[in-house]
Amino acid sequence: MFHCGKITYVHTYVLQFKFIVELKKLMNNKLGLNTSKIKRPKNGSHWLYACFQNDEERIKAIAALNGYSWKGKTLIAEEAKPAPDPLVRKRKQEEEGIQNKKKKEDNDKSQEERLKDAVTPYWNMPYEEQTKLKEREVKNLLMKFDNEVWKIHKEKRTEIEANRKVYDGLSFELKPIQKSPVTEGYRNKCEFTVGIDEETSKPTVGFRLGSYVTGTVAVAPISSLNHISEKMKKAVLVFQNFVRQSSMEPFSPADYSGYWRYLTVRESKHTGDLMLIISMHPQDLTTEKLEELKKNLIEHFSTEESVACCIKSLYFELLTKKRVGEDGSKPTHLTGSTHIIDTILGRQFRISPEAFFQINTAGADILYQSAIDMSRVQRDTTIVDICCGTGTIGLCFAKHCDKVVGLELIAEAVKDAKANAELNQIENCEFFAGKAEDILPSVLARVTGDDVVAIVDPPRAGLHMRAVTQLRNTKKVKRLIYISCSPASAVKNFVDLSRPSSKTLRGAPFVPVRAVPVDMFPHTKHVELAILFEREQSKEQVDQTKEQVDQIKEQVSQTEEQVDQTEEQVDQTGEQVDQTKEQVSEDVNGDKQAIEVDSNNGEMALDSDISTNDVQI
């Protein structure tokens, strides 16, 4: 449980992200306070909230901050009243007989229907209708983005409005939604929660029926969900049997008791192999008890039932609360292979427990091919793959371009990316580990060549503003493809990429050219979106382009004149050929007449001779 205090600083700067970062540095680095997180203030409020691991650290922080002079202002710090616990609030409402409208509706549904509504809300809608609905939602969202661009680019409004007449209300092209080739059992990764089934009261491995905020911690079985494969469902039951046979209870988010927390299952759609990552809270278990538990898990997942499920890799992870600056625990390999192998666009990729990989493998084929087609990649192009994960996008681009440079936060994923390049015998790729906003400048400095295309596939929250700024200011990046699994969250990035040049965003803005939605998540509300941005040409570049066009026109004109001259020469040559043919024909006719006369004369002479001889005889 977090212990919160509130701080006030009367200044409009409080709403800016930079302020939050600087305040956190002040508290953690300079004053030595262990802040877990700082919550942004609500609109119109001068209070923000800082959270701490315990009450002692909160008291220490209030003493240090209250009356502290910072940036010409005096801070006020005091204890914040905690928000009511959702579970306590829910129990109280139930005791008082208070139910909201949604709760009454849910009570009329079975547990199975409630789970489907929570996890796959479009489960009861024909797939054709799902894609049409998503297409409309994407267009509405892009129109909001387009309106923002219209507001900030006054000088381009006429051009934007003209383009909207061409592209049905948008200033750029929106392609029809690309449908998923597979709509049933398409997920290659799922994270299941271990909890209590409210119907059977038994430990169950499945999905939550709601969130803790809504006062729901019950877990329901996943057998009826259509986006999970049968093989994955069987593996879940194998682990569920182990949990029910053990003496350890599932972890409870209400009072932090219990042990079993999550089961993550990864599936290769190419080989059918499964990887399982079991996560638990150790509580007060000794090292000896944990080692014994690991042995039991290895034994359990070595049975014929487990082998029949194609479980080829097993990991174990301890989850405890992280303190400020602490790295999270890493999964420990227990048995089987350390990786599983899957394929996209004919390339093989090895997948580790924490590595990012598109959850719809068949859909990824379509998404990546769309990105390749939009990019207009050439043999001399350099691809900068930002948030590259295991290198999937960059390695799919590799055979079409000169060089690929990839950036990724998770070091283990970078190892996978390098191994994947070797696995596919690809030699024109380099991968670097670190935050995109930190290492992007040095990586871009290594890029040579005039045609540079950036591929951005960030986490759901989008790119850090520093990374956006660096992309804007790196003039050699001519085109950018932004791939987002949460377009609504990425709109701010879209707008910042398109803003007019300023002191911070020195490079020319990027202009949206084409968008392609891809349905990577059938039966859910989510959709993947790829947008092609092109660097806007500066006035000097436009003038240079016009000069080049004029030069080309002049060359074309000269070429046309040469063609005309050549045609005249051809005509003259044709006339000469005709004259020559006539002369040859006349000569031939004359020779024939001469030959006929000589022949007749010869015959006449011969006849005369014969007659004479006859007379003499």
Q: Where is the binding site, in residues?
A: 358, 408, 457
Which listed residue (4, 190, 388, 485) is catalytic?
A: 485
Phi, psi of 403 (to 5 degrees): -155, 150
Q: What is the distance between the alpha carbons of residues 597 and 266, in angstroms, rounded to a whole number?
A: 104
- Could you count the other beta carbons within 10 Å of the beta carbon of residue 283? 13
Q: What is the distance between the alpha carbons of residues 542 and 215, in angstroms, rounded to a whole number?
A: 59
Phi, psi of 388 (to 5 degrees): -80, -15
Name the packing angle between helices 157-166 and 127-152 (round to 10°).
Answer: 160
Torsion sign across C-alpha atoms 555, 556, 557, 560: positive
Q: Six-digit token pair at 454?
A: 């950036």
**284-310: b (≥16 Cβ within 10 Å) or e:** ebeeeeeeebbeebeebbeeeebeebb
Torsion sign across C-alpha atoms 472, 478, 482, 488: positive
- Could you count the other beta carbons within 10 Å of the beta carbon of residue 611? 9
Q: What is the distance between the alpha carbons of residues 191 and 452, in angstroms, rounded to a whole number?
A: 37
Torsion sign across C-alpha atoms 339, 342, 348, 351: negative
Q: What is the distance between the alpha carbons of residues 315 and 337, in angstroms, rounded to a whole number?
A: 10
- Could you count the other beta carbons within 10 Å of the beta carbon of residue 361? 22
Q: Decide if 485 is catalytic.
A: yes
DSSP state of 454: E
| Structure-token match 């871009």, residue found | 444
DSSP SS3 for 36? strand
Q: What is the distance between the alpha carbons of residues 539 and 549, in angstroms, rounded to a whole number?
A: 15
Indicate the burial class of 148 (C-beta count within 10 angstroms; 0-12, 13-18, 19 or more): middle
Indicate the burial class of 419 (C-beta count within 10 angstroms; 0-12, 13-18, 19 or more): middle
Show the 3-state SS of 225-285: CCCCCHHHHHHHHHHHHHHHHCCCCECCCCCCCCCEEEEEEEECCCCCCEEEEEEECCCCC
- Can you say how many angstroms the Cα of residue 583 is from the centroid of all Cα atoms in its chain? 78
Q: What is the distance between the alpha carbons of residues 590 and 114, in angstroms, rounded to a whole number?
A: 108
Residue ranges at the known binding site for S-adenosyl-L-methionine: 358, 408, 457
Catalytic (active-site) positions: 485
